[in-house]
Chain A
Amino acid sequence: MDLVESYKEELRLVRKPWTGAGIGAVVIALALLPLLKTDYLLYMGTVVFIYAIGVIGQNILIGYTGQISFGQAGFLAIGAYTFGHAYAHGFGIAVGILAAGMMAGVFGLIVGFPSLRLKGPYLAIATMGFGVAIYQILLNTDAISGGRMGFTVEKFPALFGLSQTTTFYYFTYLLAIFFTIISYNTISSYVGRAFIAIRDNDISAEAMGVNLARYKLLSFSLSSFYLGVQGALFAMLVGFLEPNSFTFMESINIFVAVIIGGLASIGGAIMGAVFIIVVPQLVGGMKELVPVIFGVTVLVILIFEPQGIAGRWLKIRLFFRNWPFR
């Protein structure tokens, strides 16, 4: 059993030494991955880190605040193109990423406004409209998207004598860790509590003094910031932007990651990101199968394991903790 001696102890990020050891092992293993000298693995790792950031953000919005959104692709595009243009105009990478996040955050604020009136499926439709609109705007505005030629973004530079792939791997690795910690902190603070309260019962949350408008908009804006950062990193990863990278399918991908990973779990969001990146690689040549696999998995998860991979993981841990008693 866990014995707590002070209130302060309960507020720590990692409370039990064993959890700390487990997380530490994973973090160190990931830091050592470049030693294997397989660019393929590094590339996959980078993609997972990039996606993990956005999926965590969406989990804050969908899983914790309970606001269903399908506009992810739009925010990704805004982040990616903002970064691309900022970078092309000579701003540094840090400024570019921040600008991408902020721009997406501002749009998140705007898209959040319908959430003050709409709930559930109606909100999903409204946000979906936003995603599709951004895609259409990109298709038809050559000044932003570079038209038929597409838009080239310079890739992340190679630093400290490491290869470009390795440098970018470490960069995204650190950012992913940063966003994970920030998210855990936010969720366990008064902000996160207000988010969850809104999800569980908005009427009583308001009667308890939570300003619904403020926290819903904050949640939208924050989660969009994450997506903007994801978009910026994505731009540097592929080095080439075209509107077709930001179709509705992309929104679905991220949504699927949130559901499969587990609603209202940040660890789950990371696992969900791993799932949507790794599974398409496993099917290899048969890309048409990917949506089918995603669809079936979501169905299975919703029916048998509503808390996603994170829920299953929790149950496995509980089993071993209680073993051999049941």
Chain B
Amino acid sequence: MLEIKNLSIDFGGIRALSGVDLTVRENEILSIIGPNGSGKTTMFNCLTGIYRPGSGEMRFRGESLLGLSPDRIARRGIARTFQNLRLFMNMSVLDNLMLGRHIHFRKNIAAAFLRLRREELRHREKVEEIIDFLDLQAYRKARVADCPYGVQKRIEMGRALALEPRLLLLDEPISGLTAEEKEEAAYRIMEIRGRYKVAIMLVEHDLKIASRLADAMIAFSYGQKIASGLPEDVQRNEEVIRAYVGDE
């Protein structure tokens, strides 16, 4: 479904990604691990059009993603969450999720002026499903800035789900949560795959959860892919261990 070949990007003299290859299959959960600064988030930013890769190819369902703007990529069916929450802080939770439906709205500016809201109702039902799924009922009308961190994480996941993506990029979805919330979030990620039939790419530092969730795992270090395969194998890989704990 997603194929990345030889992807590279430089920032000035720093090579943030060099020659990365990877594939994501339909309905697969792929975990990406690696120490800080190894290029995991950079990779997401390339995939969503925020950065323009210097060279390489990214194909999503047969079509190239190179050179597309972020909103076009979202319309192709790739949604993401951000590492340091990028929510619309002054909007209500409901409006955040409704904005996630933006690409599915039948746009008609005259209807907007005249308050014809059939579309709104149609999408509201989808959004309510997501609200139920993520247990956000109590926060529906609250301003996002007033919600606790754990809830904000859920809102962001909900906003990405509202897009009905084919591929969901989760950038550290369980970092900063309490132990209990972590378990819940991990469960939800599994549940998302089952319910919404999406492929998920997951960046996570919590190796225990990352490997439990993943069908496949990839390890990065200094912008290079150093290992890939089954989670157990990647974690035992010597290079991965060296990248995390260093040489003896």
Instruction: Kindly list chain B residues whose C-beta atoms are within 8 Å of the C-beta of A304.
Output: none
Summed over the interface, the residue pairs from A and B with CB atoms below 8 Å come to a total of 104
Inter-chain CA distance A186–B80, complex, in Å, is: 28
Q: A194-B102, A209-B74, A211-B71 are in contact. Are A182 and B88 (CB under 8 A)?
A: no
Contact between B114 and A185, CB atoms less than 8 A apart: yes
Q: How far is the CA of A209 from the CA of B100 in the complex (A)?
A: 8
> Which bracket fits the contact residues of A?
20 to 34
Contact present for B117 and A196 (CB under 8 Å): no
Q: Is the CB of A204 within 8 A of B121?
A: no
In the complex, A149→B86 CA distance in Å?
56
Is B69 a contact of A206 with CB atoms below 8 Å? yes
Interface string of A31-45 (1 = CB under 8 A from B): 000000000000000
- Is A191 a contact partner of B87 (Cβ separation < 8 A)? no
Q: How far is the CA of A204 from the CA of B71 in the complex (A)?
A: 10
In the complex, A16 has a CB within 8 A of chain B = no
Tell me, yes or no, whether B89 is within 8 Å of chain A by CB.
yes
User: Counting CB contacts under 8 A, is B197 at the interface?
Assistant: no
**Contacts A7-B121, A8-B121, A11-B120 given: A185-B103 contact, CB under 8 Å?**
no
**Cβ contacts under 8 Å, B70 to chain A:** 203, 206-207
Determine whether the beta carbon of B100 is less than 8 Å from that of A201.
no
Interface residues on chain B, size class: 35 or more
Q: Given A8-B121, A194-B102, A196-B91, do A207 and B80 touch, yes or no (CB 8 Å)? A: yes
| Interface contact B88-A204, CB-CB below 8 Å | yes
List B contacts of A186 (CB < 8 A): 112-113
Q: Tell me the smallest distance from the CB of A137 to a CB of chain B, in Å.
A: 31
Say yes or no: is A279 at the interface (Cβ < 8 Å to chain B).
no
Contact partner of A193 (CB less than 8 A), chosen from B50, B102, B115, is B102
Least CB distance, B109 to chain A, in whole angstroms: 7
> Contacts A182-B113, A186-B113, A204-B82; is A193 near B71 (CB within 8 Å)?
no
CB <8 Å contact, B50 and A205: no
Contacts of B113 in A (CB 8 A): 182, 185-186
Residues on the B chain within 8 Å of A196, using CB? 88, 90-91, 95
- Picked from B48, B86, B115, the residue with its CB within 8 Å of the CB of A201 is B86
Q: Which residue of B lies closest to A190 (CB)?
A: B105
Q: Which residues of chain B are near A209, meaning CB under 8 Å?
A: 71, 74-75, 102-103, 163
The reply to whether the CB of B201 lies closer than 8 angstroms to some CB of chain A is no
A207-B48, A208-B163 as given contacts; A191 in contact with B71, CB under 8 Å: no
A209 to B74, CA, bound (A): 5
Q: Bound complex: CA of A186 vs CA of B114, how far in Å?
A: 8
Q: Are the C-beta atoms of B87 and A201 separated by less than 8 Å?
A: yes
Can you name 21 A-B pairs with beta carbons within 8 Å?
A7-B120, A186-B112, A190-B102, A190-B107, A193-B95, A193-B102, A197-B88, A197-B102, A200-B87, A200-B88, A200-B91, A201-B86, A203-B70, A204-B82, A207-B70, A207-B79, A207-B80, A208-B71, A208-B102, A208-B163, A209-B74
The 3 A-B residue pairs with the shortest CB-CB distance, nearest first, are A209-B74, A189-B112, A209-B103
Q: A190-B112, A196-B95 are in contact. List 14 more A-B contacts (CB 8 A).
A: A7-B124, A13-B115, A185-B113, A189-B111, A189-B112, A193-B99, A196-B88, A197-B99, A197-B102, A199-B90, A208-B99, A209-B74, A209-B163, A211-B71
